[in-house]
Each structure stands twice: as structure tokens, then as C-alpha cells.
Structure 1
Amino acid sequence: MTNRYSLKLAHINDTHSHFDPSRVQFLLTHEQQSYEVYSHSGGYARIGYQVQQARQQAADAGQDFLFLHGGDSFQGTLYFNQFKGVANADLLNRLAPDAMVLGNHEIDAGNQPVKRFLDTINFPLLAGNMDLSQEDPLKQDRLAGHPKLFDYIPERQMAKVLLKPLGDKQIAIIGITLDQMKEIARPDEDTHFANAIATTTNTVAKLKADGIDHILVLSHLGWDKDKELAREVPGISLIVGGHSHTLQGDFSAIGINALPYGYRVEDTPILHAGKYAETLGLCDIEFDDKGRVTKLAGHNYFMLDEHLIIEGEQEVTAATYNALKLQLMAHPGVLWNEGLWDEELSEINQVIAQRYRPAIDALEHQVLGFVPKNLIHTRLPSKALPHGSEIAPWVCKSIYHETRRLDLQVDFALHNAGGVRQSLNKGTVTMADVLGRLLPFALPLVKYRILGRYLYQTLESAINSATNNSITGTGAGSFPYTYGLKYCYDGRQPLGTRILHLEILTEIAGEMQWHSVMPDRMYSGVSSAYTASGKEGYQDLLRAEQQESIEALTLPQAFIRYMQREEGLHGIMPPHVLYTSHLDGL
């Protein structure tokens, strides 16, 4: 007779310091009229309450229980900007996950923040392909050997494994993170990442040889790579993932597109829970004695405010309001209990309100200036925005002018799209808007001198990487935006010849004029330290004659100073990007 093993699982990922509920929008229909319904969902106090309930339900039913975090707790809001991970560790301890996998944003600023995080958390941090075998044994923030870190075992080419009870057996949890970490984050030079699929293959094989068949991979690889992992590595019972902000569940009735929850690849279910602590994944899982998932029932769940904001072309009557609220209540992806919608753990709420929120509130009231129109951020140019982002060039302009105000001569500014996080709405702009939402990464600026030929190569390489044109790139975040440089890219041309025109703004006799960039002439530029480090297609910037860190200026500081001096963003920003996709005409 085959035994059945039952597990209740709760999971979150890519929470990015969203401790408070996040604004969400639904599209509902009532009596053939459409309505936009706004609420706030999730946050740590609501997630804490629901996890507590799920844990108790599992205990009452005799089930084993796991609560897992799919990585990227760091960055994203003013809470991180102000407290640098201290609040993250404190509040995650109060949520009490059984494990978290290392995300790329945990290591944006090197190993030191990871060490501080490890020293504070009460749960294991899994990074099974993080190779610390070459780490300097004398360094102050050494990670190797840390009791909370489950890293790589180089002599066995496998991950350290977390074992948890599952009936009369054990379930093995393998934490696997991005092996492209050096391309998209900033780990210390002595920290390396082994191939994700090879590490998982070796680890699963060793577990199977030891008689452990129930194997869960806690992944920070993203949806596409998780599917590849399921195809390439037989024997994985379940993948719980993050990184790609993928929402699963049937939300079509409330106007949200999402993938099926528990989507299977090679009979391995994959689970993701969206982003920003908006939703919580909850499911009941049954395994057979060989580790195969035989039943998975669950969903991602929104945890909403009791009161809704509803907009429509027709007047919203009390009857309409109640009907739309009942639609949400009836949806299987919305959690409520006996008419209560926004149940929270008061302990977590009080800690946020008393210990962390006062500093955030002060920044929300500090006005920098005025923006006369919406400035939309998109990483890539599109039909709607043929020159790409409307706000990224303003960020580049601020870098350019604020660097020059320090009496440092630069000819241009260059920045990657991923360093700008969202659009800027018309109206007043506060310190909180910049530090918490637009430019949350406090990256130093770097000045460098570089030959013109390498600027051609840098721009093409970064765009090729952003668009997967002839190469496998690292995502659309590498797309380049500029000030003082303007270029024309045609992705249909042969590799190495796709930058058709490249011009630089030059001051001659007190007048600014555009001139072609000469391959053998030296130019001075400024970029963030991330971009200047050669990541995500920018490797030719490492050919610079010299790189000099600007100690007195970070990326958000430059934008803040520019905004304050100009009292906002005024005037017209001429296009600096002319872009033709390699897909045009296909």
C-alpha cells in the first residue's frame, strides 16, 4: 500500500521591503458596466496573521507545515533605504519562515549586508550554489562557515541541504539562486556562484542515493529558469520560486492575468507568489512515498482592506458598491473570514508603526519640486513610447549636471534602464518618491575616460543584452539611456554594426553643439558604479583609461539636488534614442 504524505505550504517571494499593504487594482463588471476597484493588499501584518492561521490549521489536521520565502526581501521601499536591512531581518523574524533563499537584491551592495542579515535572522538562508571556497579567511564580513547559511560544498559540487520532517520521512529543501549573480548584482570579488542546474542535479542525485525522495527546490531563478530546472533535473518533487514577480492563480474574473497555480513541468509543480507582499501562496500538498506530488490544492490570495475605492463611468451607488464587494468576497483568491477582511497581527503592526514608520513619514512630507506631466518609465522602446523611458533621460541629465557642478568635466551621462524603478506622476515630488520608489538604490557615481570606439561597442552590447539580439541577455534592465549622447540603433544590422549614428554634445565657443563621436578620441562620462562595473552588457566600459569614484555624490543624491535647484523637471527633453528592433518586419 502506498503511503500519502501531507504538507500545508505557505510561500512569498520578492517582497522588496513592502511591509505595509500595497495598492492593487481590479477590473470588475456589474450589470454590463465596468468598474476599476482599488484596495490595498497584503503587507507583513496581514501575511503574519494568515500564516499563523495556516500553521494552526496544519497542526489541527495533523499536517506538516512549511513557510518559505523565495528571495529578494531587500530593496524596494524607503524602509530599506532608511534601515538597510535591519527592519527586514526584524520583521521576517516575526513572520518566522522556515527558510529563505538568497535573492540578487540581498547582495546588491556586496557581502557585508548579507553578513549583517545572517547575524540577525532566526531562520536559515539558503544559497546552495554560492561558492565561498575562495573567500578571504581574514576578511571582516566573512560568510563561509556561518551557521545560518546553507551554501555550496565545492568538493562534492552540491548544495548544503535543509531537512524538515514529513510524516515518517524527511523533506529536503535545496536553495538555488541565480548563477548570473556577478552580472546583475555586486557580490564580493571572492564570492562565486556555481551553475544552478548542475548544482541541483548533483544535490538531487546525492539525496536520492541517501534514500531521500521528497525534494523541494526553493529557487530564486525566475519563472523561465524554474521551468528549465524542472525539465533538466528529474526527481524534484516541487519548486517554490521567485525573481520574476510571477503571479499564479485564476484571477481573470477580477481583471488580472496570471498563470495557473501549481503549473507542472515534467510533473513537477512550480509555485510563485507575485511580488511586494501583495499576495500569499497557500496550498495543501500530498506526496506519495517516492516524492511525487499526487495532489496540490491552493491559490495565491489577496488580503484586502475592508473599504474599497470604486471608479466607473456610471455613478457608483451603494447597491453597486455592495455588489462589487460581494464579487470580491466570492472570488477564491481573496481571503476573508466571517466578514473580516484586513485581519492583522497587532504585534507586527505596532513594531512597524512605532519603530520604523516615523522616519518614513518625515520623508513623505519633504517636497523636492514639481513635475508638470506624467513621465512614464519603460525599460525598452515600444510603439507607444518609441524613444523609450520618459524619466530615465531626466535621471541622466541630473547625473550629468550635478557631476559638472562638482567641477568634474564630463561629456555625457550613461545609465541602465533597470536602475530606474518606476514612472513619476504629474504633481509634487517628495523625497520619499525618489528614495523609496524612483531611485531606491544608493549607488555611487563613477567618472571615467574612454575611447569613442568603446562607446559604440558598449551601447550595442547593452541593447543586444536587453533584447536578446544574437545573444542570451540578462533582461531588459540593461537598455541604455543617456544625456549628452544620442544614438541610432538598428537591430536588423549585422552584429558589431548596429549603432548607425552616435553623437556627443560638445561646448564650442560657449555654444552646445552635436558632433559625431570619433572612435579614436577620448571622452569623459559618468555612470552609476553598477553600470561602470561592466555588468549586463556594459563590459566595454571596463576598457576605460581610468575610473574614479565620485565620493560626494550617489545616483539618488544627484537627482534630488537637481530637482531642488530646478524646483522640479521643466522644459522639453529631446529624444536621445532612435531604436529599431531586430524583430521589426518579421
Structure 2
Amino acid sequence: MTRTLMTTAALLGLSTGIAHADYSLTILHTNDFHARFEPISKYDGPCSAEDNTAGECFGGSARLVNAIKAARERSNNSILVDGGDQFQGSLFYTYYKGSVAAEMMNKLGYTAMTVGNHEFDDGPEVLRGFMDKVEFPVLMSNADVSNEPLLSDAIQKSVIIEQGGEKLGMIGLTTVDTPDLASPGKNITFSDPAAAVQAEIDAMKSEGVNKFIVLSHSGYRVDTAVAEAVPEIDVIVGGHSNTYLSNTSDRAEGPYPTMVGNTAVVQAYAYGKFLGELNVTFDDEGNITEATGEPLVIDAAVEEDSDTVARIAELAGPLEEIRTKVVAETAAPVEGDRNVCRVQECEMGNLVADAMLDRVKSQGIDIAIANSGGLRASIDAGEVTMGEVLAVLPFQNTLSTFEIKGSGILAALENGVSQVEEVAGRFPQVAGMKFTWDPAAEPGSRIVEVLVETDDGLEPLDPEETYGVVSNNYVRGGGDGYSVFDTDSSNVYDYGPDLADVTAEYLAQNLPYTPYVADRISQK
């Protein structure tokens, strides 16, 4: 029998003559949780206790406990897996690093997870500390960790688990851009995802495995491409692109599951706002005969587990003084949604770029360039706490100032718009300048015009003139593909104030802050 979908009758569960051999499995899944152990607002940022009581919050570990328990009770055969990026995104990670993630994932009973790029934000050491605490395998097939002593004996490429009387082959994938996005160090190299998965499948087939599940922190576009290249994959549980798939919502980027041949590709947005629930049925040769499901919204209808609420509150104690401090006020919500800021000028991008430039303009700095991947939440209207600012800017990046020729700025902007189709975090938000780009042009030749603000008004960028630039230390060091800032800059200072503090202070100086867009970025 070929690995193709069976007839409509089989998909509907009608008699096919082989029902005795069917194997049904529920795959519960999360991805891109980003340390959101407490409930979140509709903007994916902190949600107050009052709003939580009023039923206006989502997610949080305490709701996930009961949502996962109920899902398991609906199925007699289930696993729980994660698509990576448990790290980074709230003060819980800043203060505790990976220990709270390990504790909560153990409590929830995960079967396996893949490594996300943010698991490398603090290098291999913090990831190893997390792995020493978790009670399940952490997988990554498309990376060679043999030269990294902290991880060489810890990360597995794949694992075979016994579940419901059958063998399941589980394989991990991590985005190949991880060296640009995080800090894995020079001892780890990343490779083509499709080839890595195929190698693991070939090895596991010799051990009698015919059902293959890939946990992939690579993004929806890459996942569908890998499914096309490796048709023996049965299910890909994705992450990284924070993609919402659904059969009922007009906001979804595709159906749940997205079928690529006979491979079911799923993802469940981010931040614990949804729990993915995919129900798959296999025949005795490992072919999928049915794949159905829908991400379950984790809203106020899901009761919070009281023990977990108490534990999170205990862990939050040391954080409370920092995050409850009111630092500013906004006249309207400040839009920071990744699906906006990673493709166009956005309100949060202007706020952060303005704050950066305002802090250092007196030092001869002309331009601010911020990566949209560093903007992690929106801010609602009214009082702004430091906790909200830290939810937007959780990475503890510092301001970096440097000088670079106009040609280097042009190269940086080309990099910034080179992966818009993938909603990549390198998209630039700017201050002190305007630029126009052509989405129809090939990457590397998309910038049409760049104008720099001067005392005499806007003037064209001069490729030979030297400009003062401010960014954050991550981007200045070549992160998100901005290698030109690492190789071609001079008079570099990477140790300025924390970007979150700079933004909070700028907000406080402009009360009440009114968000805006100003045609700084336009398309041809």
C-alpha cells in the first residue's frame, strides 16, 4: 500500500475491512510558550488579576493543567509535545532562566520537545541546566553538537517511544538560522532539515518503526517544504512562526491540519493561548487514514488549577516589585503584533526606535534601526507597568552605538526586508530616516529609496558618507542577519543602558504617550 490518503469512507471512519488494525493517537501540542506561566491579555502581554477574575485573560500554566487533563480524558491514547521556544519572554525567564519551564513541563507531563532558537539565548550552559531538570527527551536532528561538551551527551536527534502498543519515531528540528537568532556558540553547526529528518527515518525503519512525528522549530513555510521533501513523515508539529491554523477562524493562515500529501502539519500560535489537539489514525502499515482536530482556545472557560496558581504566585513573589511599578501612561493601545511589525512600519517599532534615538542623539547619532523580532508584545491603553515594557522587550539587550558608511546601512536594510515572506524578525523599524522597498524585487535588491533626516530636511542616503547609528547589542553583533554591522562598523560601544529601561523612560517623558505611524516605511 502506498503512503497516500485513503478513501472518503475511510476518512469518515466507515468500515474498510482493516479496522481491526487501526491505531488512533491524540497529539496534544504547544509551541513558542515564551515563559508565559501567568495568564496573558488579548495582546499577549501581562493580564491583571482583576481582568483575569473578569474572564478577560488567556493561557497560563494553571489553565493548561486542566485543559491537558480534559484532553487526555477524551482520548485513550495521547502524547503531549512541544515545538520549542519555552525560554524567554517574561520576568520568569529573566530571573529563573529555564528552571520554571522545566518544573511546569514536568508537571504537565510532556512526552518530548524540540529545541527552539531561544533555548540558546543564554548559550549552551542554560540549556544544559534545563535539560538536566526535565523528565523527557529534548530533540534536535539537524545540528551537530558533538563538539559542544555541555550538550554532546544530552541532546538526541530522535527517539523511539512505545505508546499504546506501537512504536512512534520522534525527530527534532531547529531553525537553521539559530546562529543568527541566538547564541549557540561556535561549537554547534546546523544543517539542512529535510536531509536530517530523512536520515533519522531511515535509521528508525530498521528498528521496525513506521510512524514518524517531527517536532519542528522551523516555521510553517519550512515545515510544509520538509513535508514535501520527505513524504514518509506522518505528522509535523511546528513552531517558530507562531502560526495559527484553524478550520473555523477567518484569522487562520491555513487549515488544521494542513495536509501536504499524506503529512499532517500543525501549529498552535504561541504563548499558551491555544492547545493543539490533533487526532490521527494509522493503518497497520503506518499510513494516515484520518487526521482531524482544532486548536483549543485556553480562555476563561478553562478553570485554573488551584495548586498551580499557588505555585506560580510563589514564584512570582520576587518579581512583583519590579513589574508592578507604573512607569508611564498611553493614550491608546500600542500595536506590537508580530504579524504587523515584521512586515511593515508599526506603532511599537516607532516607539522603540524613537526611544533609542532620543537617548543618544546628542552623541552624534543620526539613525536608529531596531529588529522587529525584538518586539514581543503590544501594550494596552492606560497605565503602563514595567512588567508590560519587559513583556515587549524581554531580552535584556543594551543600546549599541557605532559608525558605518551609507553603503553599510543600505546593506542592512536589504537584509531587513529580505525575508518578509517568512515574517522574519529581521524586518527593520527605524527612526531618523525613511525608506521605500519593493516586495516584488529579488531579496538583496528591494530597497528603492532611503532618506535621512537632517537639519535641512530629508536628504538621500549617501553611500560614502559615515553615519552614526544606534541599535541593540544583538543586532550590532550580527544577529538577525545584520552581519554588516559586525564587520563594517567602527567606534562601536555595545554596553549602553538596557533597552527596556530606555523605552520606559521615554514613555515617562511623553505622557500620555500617543502611538503613531508616520510613513517611515513604504512600499513601491
Relative to the length of structure 1, the TM-score reads 0.76
Q: Is the 8 A contact 1:176 1:218 kept in 2?
A: yes
Q: Is the 8 A contact 1:531 1:538 kept in 2?
A: yes
SS in 1 for 2:294: strand
**In 2 relative to 1, CA 489–259 (structure 1 residues): closer, same or farther, beyond 3 Å?**
closer
Q: 2:397 aligns with which of 443, 450, 465?
A: 443
Which residue identity lines up with residue 88 of structure 2 in the other structure? Q
CA distance in 2, matches of 1:24, 1:187: 32
Runs of 5+ consecutive residues of structure 1 not aligned to the other structure? 26-36, 151-159, 306-340, 469-473, 507-511, 582-586
Q: Deviations over 1:324-365 (max 9, x none)?
A: xxxxxxxxxxxxxxxxx4334332221112222x34543453
CA distance in 1, matches of 2:371, 2:93: 21
**In 2 relative to 1, CA 570–4 (structure 1 residues): closer, same or farther, beyond 3 Å?**
closer
SS in 1 for 2:403: strand
Following TM superposition, by how much is the alpha carbon of 1:513 offset from its aligned partner in structure 2, in angstroms?
5.9
CA distance in 1, matches of 2:426, 2:141: 27
CA distance in 1, matches of 2:242, 2:521: 30
1:398 partnered with 2:355: yes
**In 2 relative to 1, CA 568–124 (structure 1 residues): closer, same or farther, beyond 3 Å?**
farther
Relative to the length of structure 2, the TM-score reads 0.84
Q: Deviations over 1:145-176 (max 9, x none)?
A: 12xx21xxxxxxxxx32111145441111111
CA distance in 1, matches of 2:84, 2:489: 37
SS in 2 for 1:410: coil
CA distance in 1, matches of 2:514, 2:387: 23
Which residue identity lines up with residue 428 of structure 1 in the other structure? E
Residue in 2 aligned with 1:87? 100
SS in 2 for 1:202: helix
Q: Is the 8 A contact 1:380 1:479 kept in 2?
A: no
Residue in 2 aligned with 1:266? 261
1:457 partnered with 2:405: no
CA distance in 2, matches of 1:580, 1:72: 32
Q: 2:63 aligns with which of 28, 46, 53?
A: 46
1:518 partnered with 2:426: no
Following TM superposition, by how much is the alpha carbon of 1:116 offset from its aligned partner in structure 2, in angstroms?
2.3
Matches within 5 A, 1:541-560: 541-546=485-490, 548-560=492-504
**In 2 relative to 1, CA 549–12 (structure 1 residues): closer, same or farther, beyond 3 Å?**
same
Q: Is the 8 A contact 1:71 1:243 kept in 2?
A: yes
Q: Is the 8 A contact 1:503 1:515 kept in 2?
A: yes
1:365 partnered with 2:328: no
CA distance in 2, matches of 1:571, 1:272: 35
Q: Deviations over 1:6-51 (max 9, x none)?
A: 33332211222222334459xxxxxxxxxxx974343212222233
Matches within 5 A, 1:257-336: 257=252, 259-305=254-300
CA distance in 2, matches of 1:569, 1:395: 16
Q: Is the 8 A contact 2:84 2:217 kept in 1?
A: yes
Q: Deviations over 1:92-113 (max 9, x none)?
A: 2211201111112222333333
**In 2 relative to 1, CA 230–369 (structure 1 residues): closer, same or farther, beyond 3 Å?**
same
Matches within 5 A, 1:344-493: 344-356=304-316, 358-377=317-336, 388-403=345-360, 408-436=363-391, 438-463=392-417, 465-467=418-420, 475-490=423-438
CA distance in 1, matches of 2:162, 2:472: 46
CA distance in 1, matches of 2:103, 2:272: 16
CA distance in 2, matches of 1:580, 1:372: 28
Larger CA Rg, structure 1 vs 2: 1
Q: Is the 8 A contact 2:25 2:280 kept in 1?
A: yes
Runs of 5+ consecutive residues of structure 2 not aligned to the other structure? 1-17, 44-53
SS in 1 for 2:280: strand
Following TM superposition, by how much is the alpha carbon of 1:283 offset from its aligned partner in structure 2, in angstroms?
4.1
Residue in 2 aligned with 1:7? 25
**In 2 relative to 1, CA 580–168 (structure 1 residues): closer, same or farther, beyond 3 Å?**
closer
**In 2 relative to 1, CA 257–397 (structure 1 residues): closer, same or farther, beyond 3 Å?**
closer
The 10-residue stretch of structure 1 (102-111 or 536-545) with the greater mean CA deviation from structure 2: 536-545
CA distance in 1, matches of 2:297, 2:452: 49
Residue in 1 aligned with 2:181? 184
Q: Is the 8 A contact 2:83 2:237 kept in 1?
A: yes
Q: Is the 8 A contact 2:32 2:85 kept in 1?
A: yes
Q: 2:452 aligns with which of 503, 506, 513?
A: 503
**In 2 relative to 1, CA 552–3 (structure 1 residues): closer, same or farther, beyond 3 Å?**
same
Q: Deviations over 1:278-309 (max 9, x none)?
A: 2222344332222112233443223432xxxx
CA distance in 2, matches of 1:397, 1:214: 52
CA distance in 1, matches of 2:174, 2:405: 36
**In 2 relative to 1, CA 262–113 (structure 1 residues): closer, same or farther, beyond 3 Å?**
same
CA distance in 2, matches of 1:235, 1:386: 34
CA distance in 2, matches of 1:387, 1:22: 25
SS in 2 for 1:224: helix
Measured on the aligned residues, the alpha-carbon RMSD in Å equals 3.2
Which residue identity lines up with residue 421 of structure 1 in the other structure? R
**In 2 relative to 1, CA 90–379 (structure 1 residues): closer, same or farther, beyond 3 Å?**
closer
CA distance in 2, matches of 1:453, 1:185: 26
CA distance in 2, matches of 1:458, 1:100: 34
Residue in 2 aligned with 1:338? none
CA distance in 1, matches of 2:339, 2:32: 22
CA distance in 2, matches of 1:288, 1:171: 14
SS in 1 for 2:295: strand
Q: Deviations over 1:388-409 (max 9, x none)?
A: 212322312222232457xx54
Q: Is the 8 A contact 1:251 1:258 kept in 2?
A: no
Q: 2:219 aligns with which of 218, 222, 228?
A: 222
CA distance in 2, matches of 1:248, 1:572: 30
Which residue identity lines up with residue 445 of structure 1 in the other structure? L
**In 2 relative to 1, CA 125–192 (structure 1 residues): closer, same or farther, beyond 3 Å?**
same
CA distance in 2, matches of 1:492, 1:258: 21
Structure whose residues are more often strand by fraction: 1
CA distance in 1, matches of 2:348, 2:34: 22
**In 2 relative to 1, CA 109–548 (structure 1 residues): closer, same or farther, beyond 3 Å?**
farther
Q: Is the 8 A contact 1:387 1:576 kept in 2?
A: no
Following TM superposition, by how much is the alpha carbon of 1:208 offset from its aligned partner in structure 2, in angstroms?
2.0
Q: Deviations over 1:229-260 (max 9, x none)?
A: 211102112222222223334334xx764643
Following TM superposition, by how much is the alpha carbon of 1:489 offset from its aligned partner in structure 2, in angstroms?
3.9
Q: 1:173 aligns with which of 151, 170, 174?
A: 170
